[in-house]
Amino acid sequence: MNQKFLNRIGAELKEIENNGLFKNERIITSEQGAEIIVNDKRVLNFCANNYLGLSSHPKVIAAAKKYIDYRVLV
């Protein structure tokens, strides 16, 4: 990448941080659902698209695996 571009992006990020607008992502250390574990604490999950826990539902996992396996064979 162009160094001038990287410098500009770096300066913009620093400005965002200085203005208190930078958001660090929290690391979820559990399956996603209505409750999750973040920083070793159980918390309610209101912000994810997966608050219903469907990404860890066995039927969804099986369907995804079936599709991926099919695509690998094709």
Residue 41: DSSP 8-state: E
- Distance separating alpha carbons of residues 57 and 21, to the nearest angstrom: 35
Nearest CA among 30, 38, 33, 37 for reference residue 51: 33
pLDDT digits (tens, 9 = 90+) for 45-69: 877 666 677 777 889 889 999 999 9
Give tens-digit pLDDT for 9-49.
999 999 999 999 999 888 999 887 788 899 999 998 877 66
Q: Number of helices (H) and strands (E), helices first, in the chain? A: 2, 2
